[in-house]
Structure 1
Amino acid sequence: MDLDSRSDPSLLGATHLQGVDNVDRNHRHTYHEISAVQPETMKRRMAHRKLRSIHIFMITINATLGTGLYWRGGQVLEVGGSLAVILSFLLLGILAWVVMQCIAELLCIWPVPGALAVFVRNYVDDELGIVVGIAYWFTYSVSYAYLISATASEVHYWMNPANSEFDGTVLYLIIPLILILINSFGVELYGWFEVATGVVKISCLFIIIISMIVFAARDTHALENWKTPTRFDQCAAKNWVSALFMCLSIATFSYVGVEIPAAIALEARPPKRKSTATESSEPLDDTGNIGDTIRFSVKWVTLFACIAYTLSGLLLSLHVVSTNPDLPRVGWVDQTSTVTTSAFVIAAELSRAPGVASAFNGFLVFTALSCANTNLFIASRMLFGLINQIEGGPDEPWYLNVLAWLGRTNSYRVPIRAMAVSALSFIWLPFLQLANDATESNGNTKRVATKDCHNGGPTSGIKSFIDVLADMASVGVLVVWACECWAFIRYYNCINRHKVELMERRVPRVRRFDEGDNNDYPYISNGQPFTAYFGLFACLFLLLVVNGASLWNGFYVEPFLSSYLIVLLFILLWIILKFFRGARWSLVDLSNPDTVESIIRGLHQLSFAGYPNESTSNTEKSSSMWPLSLLAKSPRET
């Protein structure tokens, strides 16, 4: 394929538009030509916009409150001690809140499909935005498979030794098929299913917290556990600071999911307005208020998660000492350990309350499965946003025709094909655990009280591979967070620089620095731009320095791959896309007010085009839909 054909967005769909008048008329996909597309064809490229605010909130809760707290909390306690548990969850919660401030402000202005990638494409770099979308899809597709495997580990609490036939048939085959079926529901029905599971999950968390308070009150040695709050695993770290850094890396997984409102904005419904009597028969346009639907979630989920994690970690540290031999250790420190018990289950066992440990473990199984279900939903929507406007055709390359076929919805507007690909891409991962379990069943099922450093074992290769993929997912989200902070910084600086021109040209929804009564700016986040700069610096510090703390006590392959492989692949894919698409080796030029106005108006068009008014006819809907694929080349670069 020659360079010109690669640069033609007609081969990859067109998303990145800066206003109708600026679209190259030589391109196949222009606004006026889209109106000629058959309504049925356009329907297959769009999802229903039926997610209410409560749906989005509960979807975000279900994705965030997963095994990160119940499983990784025990790892943090074992590696860094009591103080590290509190600091890790608290500091990561602050960082997640900072990042969400940046995302929230942009999202309330432009609740566009594939928002996380679109913001980066428009304000940082086109190819970088595409890689952000791919990295985000990878995170949730891998996490879906990993959580299925983690569910099996929790089920093994009741089945010792593990039953490989049960695992392979029920846990690794039937349950994933059930989750795929649930994700095949219409989005409104799916949203209410998430509300139901979210209520159960929050109730379980509340029960666990109350129980932990009771355990701590009955434990006469609770405060004694804090006499050495900086006790750390000397096999994993040389000093407490490096142990704390390792704990921060581990705790990152817990906050994966707080940015989900930006990933599912394409299915958010506009809030209803009260109709007013007018002489005009035109339907009321509510599409500009979709930001109101998602605002609550983007502002408060992070705070809720931070409080829940920090409080639970504190209560855990009061009842379980960091030297407890049943706590899970990081895999590269002890490859022979078969301990799969959550620290909260250990706390219930220590309380000697009959049946509580089993109930806690049941909560954990439900939590992991509901989180896996939500991760599949997010992965499918991210993949759908990447490919849903690729048309394909007899003259197009085979791979574009495959992607075009995948980027369509069914009769219920569910991206069933993208969902199936997201589910099957890493579904083989849990089956690797069968070989791991088979080998471990020949050994001890409990670790002895003494801890040996860096034990090897016959299962280390499989176990390490699974752990590396899971860690790559959480590191990938850090990369996405850093890019979103960078995008906000460039957005903030450009509208500040061109605020006079933008006001003179009456560009809507960018009057951030205007204190007038009629300001239409939807939401101003806290402490900007210092918040965004802090978020960017903190994410880079975590990626480049903190994640390397596992190597300060010696070089080991597993922590190196866990920390840096996804970063290297991210950069490599960015470079490959630059070459493949013949793109410039420069960032988006935001120095020209005409370019900035064009970008902003294009995003406004994309916001409205993705969410035509429900009361409009099918023909009007099809003519107002804007191409939404994230694989398009920016017209300004062609």
Structure 2
Amino acid sequence: MSSRRTVLSKHLKERHVNMISFSACIGFGLFLNTGKVIYLAGPGMALVAVVLGCSMMWSVIACLGEMTALFPVPGPLFEFPGRFIDEAVGYATGWMTWSAWIVILAAEIQAVAQLWRFRFDPAYLKSVGYPDEQLGWSTEHYSPAVWVFLFLIIVLLINLLPVRQYGQLEYIFGVIKLTFISFLIVFNIVLSGMQKVYHANHFWTWNSPWGFSSAGMVIHPTTSDPTNPDAMVKGNLGHFLSLWTAITTCVFSFVGFEAIAVTAPENKDLEKYETIKIATKKLSMRISLLYILGTFVGGLNVPYDDPNLVNIQINAVRAGQNSVFVLAAVRNGLRGFPSVFNGFFIFAATTSGINALYTSSRLLHALASIPEAWPLWFQNYRRRLERVSDAGVPLGTVCVSWCFGLMAFLAIKPFPSVILGRMTNNAVIAELICYTMICLSYTQFYHKIKVAANDHTLENRSAFNRDDKQYPYRTHGQLFRAWYGFFFCALLIVFNNWRAFVPPFSTPDFVASYIGVAVFLAIIAAYHVRSDGWNPLKWRRSASMQIHRPPPKVVVPGRRRGHLEFPNPKMPFWQEDNAKALVAFIWGWLK
């Protein structure tokens, strides 16, 4: 390892960034949580929940994308809150985000261990008319520690690769995931159309005795009687509570889109290829489309009161037999597909774990480059963490982050699914805190660059003009979307686990849901104590509002990427030059 090098290598291309961020969003959340969302809200209301979750993602990712495109700084997730809100808030956001990603790493690996316990209850198979009496894997009795150890090693080895090779692997992983999910959507549409098991119509799960929404909200389901009517809230209030709980469940599946910004220091030719803009738009459309379609088709073949969906406890994540996509194949009597699907879920969770280690290591490396974010007695260790190998890999931060992935060995506990649910809930709150600060940062950023664009004393004031053709990335109504994202995320933080306040009170669930808020405030207070003393009345906001270092990035003059412009507009589109432009435009959005 080089003793002096501290700068990451710029080897990632646009397609690498696209798939790194896409792969981060496609872990076990899509495949296992979709069934939970349908169970909570019903097939129609589940779609509403996913659309609302996507609207939050669009708002946050657009804020982060615009700021990062103009200022591609290391650690943008905490750098921008530090610049535009308060330094202490920025540092606290950085530590919270890093902690979220190491928990996500452990959660993905723990999910892998759970997925190897693939076994259906014979009574269920008989009730749905499955042709075989048994369906499962012989690995169900293996110790989860075996899988945790094996897959943690795989995750580490891939993250030690040079960044260029790592980007190529992530691209391959992303393409495989995208292809499989597309197949899964078509597969469920075909099942609904064929109706191997006859039903009155193709939307039978939306009709009586089921319906657009679930019957109500079971606040504290139990294994003995998960649908106890005495514990169910019905009517409009029940539907609202079901919708809100479904939205909070969706959020974990969307976590990972911020990886676009994390890759900025390793991006190649940001100005020429407009990587941040294109990747942000591609990811928003792909994730929204796939999650909405996946939820829709999942609800076509499996009713929301299927026993394997009912068994999903409110704060738990289980195995492949609880996936709505596996259940669709089983309920239609298909052999082979359930095992293939479960195997792919293991692949998806593993690659998301790989991505989680990459993201957490880059966040920790960005924190290591800021001496003020660390206590004085830790400065020597900080300098070691800042070092980068000749291949451009921050080995120190990769290894340190990986060590926290050992939390996945909690899978050997008696109730691993409950532990996994609480871990994911804790990570979601930490991420929501980050998203809230990003949106709030954008509101300050927006007004700051607006003033700079009208400041005639600045030679480069056009770089801050959002209406200028060389401005790297902007979206319409973004200030409103920033405030929308801020309030949406804040409400999700406050009411993410409202059930914990309904008797009987669950201390572990309450702590998992809200300790992140307390830790965030405590870190902010600790930084202010160090800089301003113990008296809170003397604490002062410290926000540099810096928009000149590094200099703002503008787009290379010429044709903007992502826009279709024919070289010969007066000629038909099949003319050779026009046809090449059309093909390049389509390929640019597909790759």
Q: TM-score range by the shorter chain?
A: 0.7 to 0.9
Aligned to 2:493: 543
Alpha-carbon offset, residue 480 of structure 1: 0.9
The yes-or-no answer on 1:603 pairing with 2:550 is yes
Query: Higher mean Cα deviation, 369-378 or 522-531?
Result: 522-531
Alpha-carbon offset, residue 164 of structure 1: 3.5
CA distance in 2, matches of 1:59, 1:472: 23
Alpha-carbon offset, residue 549 of structure 1: 5.3
Alpha-carbon offset, residue 322 of structure 1: 0.9
8 Å Cα contact 2:34-2:295 kept in structure 1 = yes
Aligned to 1:19: none
8 Å Cα contact 1:119-1:487 kept in structure 2 = yes
Say if 1:318 and 1:191 are closer, same or farther in 2 by CA, change over 3 A: same
Aligned to 1:137: 98
TM-score (norm 1): 0.75
Please, which of 86, 92, 104 is the counterpart of residue 47 of structure 2?
Answer: 86
The yes-or-no answer on 1:225 pairing with 2:178 is no
8 Å Cα contact 1:381-1:418 kept in structure 2 = yes
Identical aligned pairs, as a percentage? 24
Aligned to 2:449: 495
Q: How many residues align?
A: 509
TM-score (norm 2): 0.80
The yes-or-no answer on 1:190 pairing with 2:166 is yes
CA distance in 1, matches of 2:343, 2:216: 29
8 Å Cα contact 1:109-1:509 kept in structure 2 = no
| CA displacement, residues 352-409 of structure 1 (integer Å, 9 cap, x when unaligned) | 12211111111111111111111111111111111146599xxx95422122222212
8 Å Cα contact 1:110-1:603 kept in structure 2 = yes
Aligned to 2:510: 560
Query: Higher mean Cα deviation, 540-549 or 260-269?
Result: 540-549
Aligned to 1:261: 260
| CA displacement, residues 486-534 of structure 1 (integer Å, 9 cap, x when unaligned) | 0110111233345432x3222445432566xxx6422222213211111
Aligned to 1:413: 392
Q: Which amino acid aligns with 1:250?
A: T
| CA displacement, residues 297-329 of structure 1 (integer Å, 9 cap, x when unaligned) | 112202210110111101111111111111264
Q: Which amino acid aligns with 1:530?
A: F
Q: Which amino acid aligns with 1:548?
A: W
Aligned to 1:33: none
Aligned to 1:467: 421
Aligned to 1:247: 246
In the TM superposition, 1:267-306 aligns within 5 A as 267-270=266-269, 289=271, 292-306=274-288
Runs of at least 5 residues in structure 2 that lack an aligned partner in the other structure:
119-135, 220-231, 555-591
Say if 1:420 and 1:552 are closer, same or farther in 2 by CA, change over 3 A: same
Please, which of 385, 395, 410 is the counterpart of residue 432 of structure 1?
Answer: 410
| CA displacement, residues 180-211 of structure 1 (integer Å, 9 cap, x when unaligned) | 01110100010001111111111111111111
The yes-or-no answer on 1:168 pairing with 2:139 is no
CA distance in 2, matches of 1:574, 1:464: 31
Please, which of 45, 55, 58 is the counterpart of residue 97 of structure 1?
Answer: 58
| CA displacement, residues 267-323 of structure 1 (integer Å, 9 cap, x when unaligned) | 11115xxxxxxxxxxxxxxxxx17712221112202210110111101111111111
Aligned to 2:176: 200
8 Å Cα contact 2:32-2:319 kept in structure 1 = no
Please, which of 290, 294, 299 is the counterpart of residue 312 of structure 1?
Answer: 294
Alpha-carbon offset, residue 561 of structure 1: 2.7
Q: Which amino acid aligns with 1:531?
A: R
8 Å Cα contact 1:387-1:403 kept in structure 2 = yes
Aligned to 1:521: 471
Say if 1:549 and 1:163 are closer, same or farther in 2 by CA, change over 3 A: closer
Aligned to 1:355: 336
Please, which of 342, 348, 371 is the counterpart of residue 323 of structure 2?
Answer: 342
CA distance in 1, matches of 2:477, 2:377: 49
Runs of at least 5 residues in structure 1 that lack an aligned partner in the other structure:
1-38, 272-288, 437-458, 590-594, 609-638
CA distance in 2, matches of 1:375, 1:420: 13
8 Å Cα contact 1:332-1:558 kept in structure 2 = no
1:604 aligns to what SS in structure 2? coil
Aligned to 2:356: 375
8 Å Cα contact 1:551-1:559 kept in structure 2 = no
Q: Which amino acid aligns with 1:217?
A: G
8 Å Cα contact 2:454-2:461 kept in structure 1 = no
Q: Which amino acid aligns with 1:190?
A: Y
Alpha-carbon offset, residue 556 of structure 1: 2.8
2:265 aligns to what SS in structure 1? helix
2:274 aligns to what SS in structure 1? helix
CA distance in 1, matches of 2:178, 2:316: 33
Aligned to 1:120: 81
In the TM superposition, 1:602-621 aligns within 5 A as 602-604=549-551
Alpha-carbon offset, residue 559 of structure 1: 3.7
Query: Higher mean Cα deviation, 355-364 or 561-570?
Result: 561-570
8 Å Cα contact 2:452-2:458 kept in structure 1 = no
CA distance in 2, matches of 1:40, 1:364: 38
CA distance in 1, matches of 2:503, 2:285: 34
Say if 1:340 and 1:214 are closer, same or farther in 2 by CA, change over 3 A: closer
In the TM superposition, 1:563-582 aligns within 5 A as 563-582=513-532
The yes-or-no answer on 1:400 pairing with 2:379 is yes
Aligned to 1:71: 32
Alpha-carbon offset, residue 557 of structure 1: 2.8
The yes-or-no answer on 1:57 pairing with 2:18 is yes
The yes-or-no answer on 1:154 pairing with 2:123 is no
Alpha-carbon offset, residue 233 of structure 1: 5.5
CA distance in 2, matches of 1:349, 1:378: 36
Say if 1:486 and 1:234 are closer, same or farther in 2 by CA, change over 3 A: closer
CA distance in 2, matches of 1:261, 1:551: 36
Q: Which amino acid aligns with 2:204?
A: E
| CA displacement, residues 412-471 of structure 1 (integer Å, 9 cap, x when unaligned) | 1201111111111131x33222232xxxxxxxxxxxxxxxxxxxxxx4xx6544322211
Alpha-carbon offset, residue 569 of structure 1: 1.4
| CA displacement, residues 555-581 of structure 1 (integer Å, 9 cap, x when unaligned) | 333442333221221112111221123
2:539 aligns to what SS in structure 1? coil
Say if 1:550 and 1:84 are closer, same or farther in 2 by CA, change over 3 A: farther
Aligned to 2:72: 111
8 Å Cα contact 1:97-1:302 kept in structure 2 = yes
CA distance in 2, matches of 1:55, 1:488: 26
